[in-house]
Amino acid sequence: MQKVCFWLLVFALCPLVLAQTQNQNKDKNSKDKSKTQSTAATPAPATAPSSATSLIPEEQRRLEEAGTILKEVLNIPDYIPQSLLNKAECVLVFPSVKKFAIGIGGSSGHGALSCRTGEKFKGPWSPPAVYSLKAGSIGLQVGGQSTDFVLLIMNPRGVDSVLRSKIKLGSDAAIAAGPRGRLASASSDASMHAEILAYPRSWGFFAGVSLEGATLRQDTGANLKIYGRKVSASDIVRQQTVSVTLAGDLMVSTLNKLSPSNLADPTPR
């Protein structure tokens, strides 16, 4: 009799337990669904927009490299004579001019020009203008990887030539290998009367490196991106219509520190 009563009790309670379990599952599913909907309805945090910049990395890198190379080359002992740097009206730096193939082949590079300000080039150094350099051949290179060039522009005629939209070195502006160190005083008349003196620094082995015949032109697109408006090289380095950017600061500060005064003969050259 007791067993019969036990099973009757079990059968009576089972539907109640099953119903309670189903209700609990429904409540849980309802909560999960509500939580999911709430999460979906909550907007994701807004991502802060990236800061706009008018200076793209490539242009910034070129100016920074020009400043770095200039500082390194000017600190090489017995290389560029201080007396010649102090007489230069402008300095043009081309980092890592690369050759396309061993032997005679095309070469190219980008660099920056800074000039002393003021009507007679007696002021501090200007913001840099970006230039490009291209040639069917830069000298006769028999090996190596790249060459850095520092060009000293020694007189107003050379400055006028470089400030044209495009010139050919050697024909539009006389260029010569710059005398080095103690040899500056005993250098040839050709180098002393050249409008531009070239100082290469080579990585690897190069033979007969020369910029004779290379084409030099203003990089108007790069200057637009750097200064935010269309400006010519003359506007940048002679008219002082723009300010020095952070990327160009190393080049300008190096020149102002190492050659703050123009010691060139004031008579027409």
H helix count then E strand count, the chain: 8, 8
Q: How far apart are the C-alpha atoms of 25 and 179, rounded to whole Å?
A: 92
pLDDT (tens digit per residue) in 215-265? 999 999 999 999 999 999 999 999 989 999 999 999 999 999 999 999 987
Q: Where are the alpha helices (DSSP H) in 75-210?
A: 82-85, 156-162, 189-192
Q: How far apart are the C-alpha atoms of 6 and 116, rounded to whole Å?
A: 110
Q: How far apart are the C-alpha atoms of 265 and 260, rounded to whole Å?
A: 16
pLDDT (tens digit per residue) in 173-206? 999 989 987 656 545 555 567 899 999 987 654 4
Which runs of E-coded beta strand occur in the chain?
90-99, 107-115, 129-135, 146-153, 166-168, 175-177, 196-203, 215-218
- State mean pLDDT over 148-177: 93
Is 59:130 a contact under the CB 8 Å cutoff?
yes
pTM: 0.73
